[in-house]
Structure 1
């Protein structure tokens, strides 16, 4: 079903994980896709594969979303190529794994620059085009944006900030026709834990959890694309996530204990 035939979708963090899967899903439904990530070579190869498989058009753009000029260039190049933007998926993000007491504060700044400011920059420069198309602005957030997680102070803070920004933006645009959606996957099998920053800001290089029991990036992408099609307000994608958000409203102290127990079971746990 060509749900998005001839629509233009911009996706940040498109070279792997959820962004990669979203690009494939949108392309399979007829969308032209603008792919953004820091590593251009694999991105360009991926774009060519999508064009060949789905007979759509792509544009690959090297972009570090923590840099405002890169985000501005991304949107300008997308508009030069396709004249319009119908969907912006703010997906680029990084995580961390370290206790705050041990943490170099530059790690927190890095996470805010990518996860929060990257969303701000791209959204700002795409806003006029999205308003003109009455399109969709999507933030790929996390349950960590509703519930603080141990060892992820910077990640949770950046996602809380994203959630507040998107919520405010939704209210500002209740009557403009702009669709604003927060997508909050549960734990997803991807490389985000492998590339999570440690106490000094280096990638930890391995996952601390059992990836086999998690949602796949493809499952997440399908829910995001369906959510855009149905113009949903928010998506909380797992029963565990829905329970955590619901219970946190009414029994936050109980949730504190459950979250502690969960993260105490990690490989080489930070809390015991």
Structure 2
């Protein structure tokens, strides 16, 4: 087994459930020292209680609030001496047409998905540069192709990827590696917690969850990509196909995406 992550300090945002939690658990099994944050104190407490003898640091934090991000990063550095790898995983989705969605929905999604990553990265940057570490953004196919009903989500992921690409260029020659990965549809809470047009959690998934990738499998792919220092990674065939078609056949992709998300003029996914 590779010892790439052994004794490395890895900070993971949104680690109390879904992909983030799977990343935390897999990293601990690989010998990493892990710090994670989430908004739900009870879920963090449960996670901590499952690993009482492991080097795990948990912080209750809302990444949309800069002071919370600052506290998470600074407490991680204080407890563990620095940060080698930052995985900006915390995220929120939405399901609403632009015509129906409130501006609050757009603001909330952008604050979590883009500014949360920007805040944490900014406050961790000095220690990551010092350690020649890795900065990771968990993005989406929605960062390559705007998806109907996910306008704010797409905007936040486009922003995240553009920001990380600019940062990667700024840090060339420093030894820091900047990358992003794009999981496909995963069996996680993100669709149940997705905001509707009024800004409330929709409480249901529009997809058949039975055939989707598990968070645990997704975490394996993400850590392999980090270890190999991939520039970017799109995980699924559908994702790769969408990126390819959108680049070379954008008009066709418009029609295919519309057909996938709509039925009889109504948004179904």
TM-score (norm 1): 0.95
Number of matched residues?
Answer: 268
Deviates more, 1:36-45 or 1:111-120: 36-45
Deviation at 1:212, TM superposition (A): 1.3
- Select the residue among 204, 225, 234 that pairs with 1:227: 225
Q: Aligned runs of 1:184-203 on 2, under 5 Å? A: 184-203=182-201
What SS does the aligned partner of 1:175 have? coil
1:156 aligns with 2:157: no
> In structure 2, how many angstroms separate the alpha carbons of the residues matched to 1:149 and 1:186?
13
Query: Does the 8 Å contact 1:260/1:271 carry over to 2?
Result: no
> What CA distance in whole angstroms lies between the structure 2 residues aligned with 1:258 and 1:271?
14
* Paired residues for 1:41-80 under 5 Å: 41-52=42-53, 56-80=54-78
Q: Distance in 2 between matches of 1:51 and 1:20?
A: 16
Q: CA deviation at 1:3?
A: 2.8
| 1:135–1:159 CA distance, 2 compared to 1 (3 A) | same
How big is the shift at 1:15?
0.6
Matched, 1:166 2:167: no
CA distance in 2, matches of 1:186, 1:71: 27
Secondary structure in structure 1 of the residue aligned to 2:191: coil
Secondary structure, in 3 states, of the residue corresponding to 1:103? coil
In the TM superposition, residue 14 of structure 1 has moved relative to its aligned partner by 0.4
Q: 1:51 to 1:30 in 2, by over 3 A?
A: farther
1:270 corresponds in structure 2 to 267
- Runs ≥4 in structure 1, deviation > 3 angstroms? none
SS at match of 1:215: coil
Structure-2 residue corresponding to 1:242: 240
TM-score (norm 2): 0.96
Q: CA deviation at 1:210?
A: 0.9
Counterpart of 2:128?
130
Rounded to whole Å, the distance in 2 between the matches of 1:89 and 1:265 is 37
